[in-house]
Structures are given as C-alpha cells and as structure tokens.
C-alpha cells in the first residue's frame, strides 16, 4: 500500500468533477496559455496533524457502488478505470443528496465522502463509497438516501487548502505521520469538504479535511523475548 495515499489524493479530483456536474451552472473557463496548463497545482496544510476523537452523529447518506455505473465493456484497468468509477459514484451520490435537500432535508454540516476499498487491490467495478451530510437526530429521508448513525471514532486529522488534484503530498504526509507516531489505520479514510465549489470559491480557496481512523500500534516484543 505504499502508493495508497497518492491514489486517494487522485480520488479527490473526482469530487471536483462531481461538484461541477451537479452545479446548476458551470462557468466556462477561458483558454489558458500552455505555460499555465503545465503548472502543477499546489496545496498547503492548514494547522498541524493531530489525533482527535469524533463523536457519534446522525447522517443522511448514500452508498454508491461502481458496478451500478459500469460502462459497456466494463471499466478499463488501472487509474483510468478507477477514476471513472469514482467520478460516476460521486456525481450520482451528490446528486441524490442534493435532491434530498431540495425535498426539505436539512444538512447540519459540510458533505463528506468515505472510501472503503484499497484501490490498489480492488477492481474498479468492486469499488464503493459513501457520501453523506450530518443532520439532526430524527431526520427523515426516502430511498436511496438513508438516515443512519455514524459511530464515534478516533482519527488522525489534517486540513489542506487548495485544489484537490494538488493534495497528493498532503495525503502522503498524513499517512507517514500516522506510522511515525505509533499508530495504524483502523477504518476507511474520509474527506470532509469544508469549502468547495458549492461555496462559489476558486479551487485555490477549497478547504478540505482528511480523517484517517487510527488506533495505537501494538508494541513489538523485545528481541529474545517470548
């Protein structure tokens, strides 16, 4: 899983595409000079990485399966198939949640996405993700949106500012911090979209929180011990 955090960073590009596709209007982009097209997008970490315990909460959620959106002939192998699978799932999931809000659903926080499978080991057709908003206890929803409890969890948390496609180094830094500080992953990683295209800000102003559920690594026995 040495490239896993880079792969999860690539998935956030699909989030950008999903937000764009469900927007009522997408502003046309002016043609950029080649020099600007080649400039690598950059993100910066805001604050420090720390371990936090997040309380249980009620969410309005949609579980998406890539198999439901497989193109004729199936997904391509490698990153192309993975990216298409996540783009399809994120676009569909956000659209369903927007329909829930249009019907009177009331989000109580920014959207989040949970990624369950290791994209290095899982065929694109078998990938899944959950997209959700926190909401009030007692909220109601009609299928395919469900109201459920997200249990309390402990996670390494960091926040980055900038376009999703520039987040690879942030993901890798957070993953390395987990290992270097005596933790191991203990659940599916997620992102919380604190400020995004829906807030009508440019990509340079996007604000995203990464949460990696963790637990303390078990101490290794001393050499020669039983």
Overall average pLDDT of the 116-130 stretch: 92
Overall average pLDDT of the 107-132 stretch: 93
Overall average pLDDT of the 127-133 stretch: 97
- Pick the residue with more confidence: 127 or 120? 127
| % of the chain beyond a pLDDT of 70 | 80
What are the extents of the domains in the chain? 4-21+42-216
- Digit-coded pLDDT (tens) for 154-210: 999 999 999 988 888 999 999 999 999 999 999 999 999 999 888 889 999 999 999
What is the three-class DSSP state of 143?
A: coil
pLDDT at residue number 149 = 97
- Topology of domain 4-21+42-216 in CATH is Multidrug-efflux Transporter 1 Regulator Bmrr; Chain A (3.20.80)
From the list 162, 111, 106, the residue with the least C-alpha distance to 138 is 106
Give the tokens for residue 18: 């999903």
pLDDT(225) > 90: no
CB-based contact 189:13 (threshold 8 Å): no
pLDDT band, very low/low/confident/very high, at 124 (cuts 50, 70, 90):
very high
**Mean pLDDT computed over every residue of the chain:** 86
pLDDT(22) > 60: no
pLDDT(141) > 60: yes
From the list 1, 11, 50, 46, the residue with the least C-alpha distance to 168 is 11
From the list 9, 134, 140, 125, the residue with the least C-alpha distance to 64 is 125
């Amino acid at each position: 899983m040495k490239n896993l955090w880079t792969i999860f960073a690539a998935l956030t590009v699909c989030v950008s595409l999903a937000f764009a596709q469900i927007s009522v209007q997408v502003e046309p982009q002016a043609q950029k000079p080649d020099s600007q097209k080649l400039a690598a997008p950059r993100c910066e970490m805001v604050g420090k990485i720390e371990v936090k315990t997040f309380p249980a909460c009620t969410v309005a959620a949609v579980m998406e399966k890539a198999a439901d959106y497989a193109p004729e002939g199936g997904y391509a192998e490698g990153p192309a198939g993975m990216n298409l699978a996540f783009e399809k799932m994120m676009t569909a999931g956000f659209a369903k949640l927007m329909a829930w809000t249009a019907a009177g659903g009331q989000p109580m926080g920014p959207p989040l996405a949970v990624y369950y499978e290791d994209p290095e080991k899982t065929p694109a057709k078998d990938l899944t993700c959950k997209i959700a908003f926190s909401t009030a206890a007692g909220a109601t929803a009609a299928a395919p949106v469900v109201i459920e409890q997200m249990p309390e969890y402990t996670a390494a948390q960091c926040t980055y500012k900038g376009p999703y496609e520039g987040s690879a180094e942030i993901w890798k830094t957070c993953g390395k911090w987990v290992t270097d500080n005596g933790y191991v992953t203990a659940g599916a990683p997620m992102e919380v979209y604190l400020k995004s295209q829906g807030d009508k800000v440019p990509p340079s102003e996007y604000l995203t929180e990464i949460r990696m559920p963790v637990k303390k690594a078990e101490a290794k026995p001393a050499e020669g011990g039983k």
